[in-house]
Structure 1
Amino acid sequence: MKNLVDHLSQYAAYHRDTRNIVSHFIGIPLIVIAVAVLLSRPGAVIGGVWLSPATLLALASTGFYLRLDMRFGVVMGALLGLSLWPGHMLAVQSTLVWLSSGVGLFVVGWAIQFVGHFYEGRKPAFVDDVSGLIVGPLFVVAEAAFLLGLRQPLKHAIEERVGPTGVRGKKALV
C-alpha cells in the first residue's frame, strides 16, 4: 500500500509548474464542491444530519486520508464536511438550480484545471492513475501547508523524488 509520500510524490510529478499548482487551488475546491452538490441528491435529514451519497463519499474519503496521515486526515475531513453544506443547500432547491449549480461548478473547475495543465505541458495525473482524483484535494492541502511553512520534511521528501516547483513548461500567454 502506498504511503503519504508515495501518493503525493506521484501526484506532484504532474504538478511542478507553480501556475498549474495555483490553478489547482481554485479548480479542485470547485470540483469538490460540485461533486458534493451533485451527490447530495437523493438525501434526507436523519437525526439532524443530511445523509446522502455525498455524505458517504466524504466519510469514505476521510477514512482514506486518515490512514495516510492523521493531521491531514483531520483537515481533509473538516474541509469535506464543509463542502457538504453547499451540497445540502443546493440539493433542496429546484432541480434546475441544483443541477445547473453542480454542473456549472464542475465544468468551471475542470476548465481551470486544464488551463493549469496547459502551462505544465503535461496531462492531469488521474489520466494515468485514477487515484489522482482522491489525491488531488490532499495535494492542495499539502501545498497550502508548505506555503505556510508547515510539514517541511514532507515537502523535502517529495522534492527529493520529483524536484522543486517553479515556472516551467509552456510560456505565459501575454
Structure 2
Amino acid sequence: MKTLEEQLTTYARYHRSKRNIMTHFVGIPLIVFAALCLLARTELSVGALALNGAHLAVVLCVIYYLRLSLSLGVIMAVILFVMTVAATPVAALSVSGWLGASLSLFFLGWVIQFVGHYFEGRKPAFVDDLAGLIIGPLFVLVEALFLLGYYPSLADYIEQHAGPVQP
C-alpha cells in the first residue's frame, strides 16, 4: 500500500491549478454526499443492528484513511459520519425524490469536477488510477487544512514532489 504522502502526491499531480482545487472543494463533497444518499437506501441487518450501504462504505473508507494517517482518518470519520446522518432523510424520501435528489447532486458534483479539470488542462486522476476516487475526499480535506496552516510538512512534501499550486 502506498503511503499517505505517495497517495496525495500522485493525486496532487493532477491538481496544481488553484481554480481546479477550488472546484474540488464543492464537487467532491457533493459526489460523496450523493453516493452516501444512494447507498443509505440499502438496508443491512447484522443481528439486532440495522445498517445500510452508506454505513458499510464509510466504515471501509475510514479503515483505509486510518491506515494512511490516524489524525486525518479520524477527521474523515467525523465528516463522513455527519454526511451519512444527513443522507438518511434523503434515503427515506419516495423513490423518485431519493433518486432525483441523489442523482442531481451526483451529476452536479461531476460537472463541477470537470469544469475544474478544464481549467487544469488535465484529465481527472481516477482515469489513470482508480485509487483517485477514494483519495479525492482526503485531498480536499488536506488542502483545506493546508489553507488553515495545518500539516505544513505534508504540504511542503506534496509541493516538492508534485510542484507548486498555480494561480
- Give TM-score scaled by structure 1 length: 0.92
Deviates more, 1:83-92 or 1:156-165: 83-92
- Unpaired segments ≥5 residues, structure 1: 168-174
User: Equivalent residues in 2 for 1:22-171 (5 A)?
Assistant: 22-43=22-43, 51-167=51-167
Query: Aligned equivalents of 1:55 and 1:66: distance in 2?
Result: 16
Number of positions where the alignment pairs a residue of Structure 1 with one of Structure 2: 167
- Unpaired segments ≥5 residues, structure 2: none
User: Is the 8 Å Cα contact of residues 14 and 125 (structure 2) preserved in structure 1?
Assistant: yes
Query: Aligned equivalents of 1:27 and 1:50: distance in 2?
Result: 30
Q: Which consecutive segments of 4 or more residues in structure 1 shift more than 6 A?
A: 44-49
User: Is the 8 Å Cα contact of residues 66 and 72 (structure 2) preserved in structure 1?
Assistant: yes
Query: Aligned equivalents of 1:109 and 1:162: distance in 2?
Result: 25
Q: CA deviation at 1:50?
A: 5.6
Q: Per-residue displacement from partner, 1:9-28 (whole Å, max 9, x unpaired)?
A: 00000000000000000000
Q: Percent identity?
A: 47
Deviates more, 1:23-32 or 1:90-99: 90-99
Q: CA deviation at 1:45?
A: 8.3
Q: CA deviation at 1:102?
A: 0.6
CA 1:148 to 1:47, structure 2 compared with 1: closer, same or farther past 3 Å? Answer: farther
- Give TM-score scaled by structure 2 length: 0.96
Q: What is the SS of the residue equivalent to 2:78?
A: helix
CA 1:49 to 1:21, structure 2 compared with 1: closer, same or farther past 3 Å? Answer: farther
Alignment root-mean-square deviation, CA: 1.6
Q: Per-residue displacement from partner, 1:44-98 (whole Å, max 9, x unpaired)?
A: 6889976111110000000000000011000001111111122211111100111
- The one-letter code sitting in structure 1 at the alignment partner of 2:114 is F
User: Is the 8 Å Cα contact of residues 44 and 53 (structure 2) preserved in structure 1?
Assistant: no
Q: What is the SS of the residue equivalent to 1:71?
A: helix
Query: Aligned equivalents of 1:98 and 1:89: distance in 2?
Result: 9
User: Is the 8 Å Cα contact of residues 50 and 88 (structure 1) preserved in structure 2?
Assistant: no
